[in-house]
Structure 1
Amino acid sequence: MTETETEIVIAQTTVDDEERAGALARGAVEHRLAACAHIDPPFTAVYRWQGAVETAREWRISYKTTTGRLPELTAWVAEHHGYDVPEWITLPVTGGSGAYLAWVTEETTPHPAG
C-alpha cells in the first residue's frame, strides 16, 4: 500500500439494533476491513425522515481503518446494514500513537489464505 492508502480514518455508522451493531462490527474486523470497531451505548437520535421528525434509539459503530481499505469497508457495510440511507461518515485521523496507527495498518492488510 502507498502512504496515502495507509492513512488512518475513523468511519461511523448507526443502527437501531444492538445485535446488528455487534454483527457489523465483528464482520468488518473478521474480514480485515477494520482493525477494530467500537460500539457506543444506545443514544437517542432525532432526525427528519420522509418529511417527519423521528426519534429512535441507536448504537454508533466507529471503525478504525485505512484509506486503502475504506472503499471495501464502505461497500461491505452498505451491503449488510439494513437502513435505506445509513449514516456513513469518515473522519481523518491527524495524529496518534505511532504504534497504534501501525497496528491499524497491519490489522487491515489482507493476508493470503492459509
Structure 2
Amino acid sequence: MSGVALVYTLFGSAEAADRVARQLIAERLAACANMLGAATSLYEWNGVMESTAEVPVLFKTTPSRRDALMARIAELHDYEVPAILALPVESADLAYAKWVAEQIAK
C-alpha cells in the first residue's frame, strides 16, 4: 500500500470545485486538491445526449480517510448523481505520503 489515496470527481463550475475543495482540506479529509482545468463531458441523462463543461478535481488523502472523503464529497456535491471515484495508487514517494498523512492528522 502506498499511503496515499486518490479520489476523482467533477464539478459543474470552478467556483463549486474551489468551494468544496477548500472545505474538505479545512476538514482534514483531503491534504490537497488538484483542479485540472475545464473539460467537456459527454453522457446520456434521462434519455438525452448531454455535453457539459465540467471541472475535474483530484483529491489526495490517506487510505484510512478515503471512504469518509468520498462520503463527504457526496454530501457537498450539487449533482444528483456525482461521479466520485477512488483511483488505485500502486506506490508513492515516501516523503509525499508522510506529508499527506501529516496534513490529514492536523
* TM class, shorter-length: over 0.9
Runs of 5+ unmatched residues, structure 1: none
For residues 55-66 of structure 1, what are the structure 2 equivalents within 5 Å?
A: 55-66=51-62
Report the equivalent of 2:41.
45
User: Where do 4+ consecutive residues of structure 1 move more than 3 Å?
Assistant: none
The whole-number CA distance in structure 1 between the counterparts of 2:42 and 2:62 is: 30
Q: Secondary structure at the match of 2:91?
A: coil
Match of residue 90, structure 1, among 77, 86, 89: 86
Identity over aligned pairs, percent: 35
Give the TM-score, by structure 1 length: 0.86
Q: Which has the larger radius of gyration?
A: 1
Runs of 5+ unmatched residues, structure 2: none
Q: Secondary structure at the match of 1:27?
A: helix
The whole-number CA distance in structure 1 between the counterparts of 2:98 and 2:13 is: 32
Residues paired across the two proteins, number:
106
CA RMSD of aligned residues (A): 1.4
Q: Secondary structure at the match of 1:58?
A: strand
Greater helix fraction, Structure 1 or Structure 2? 2
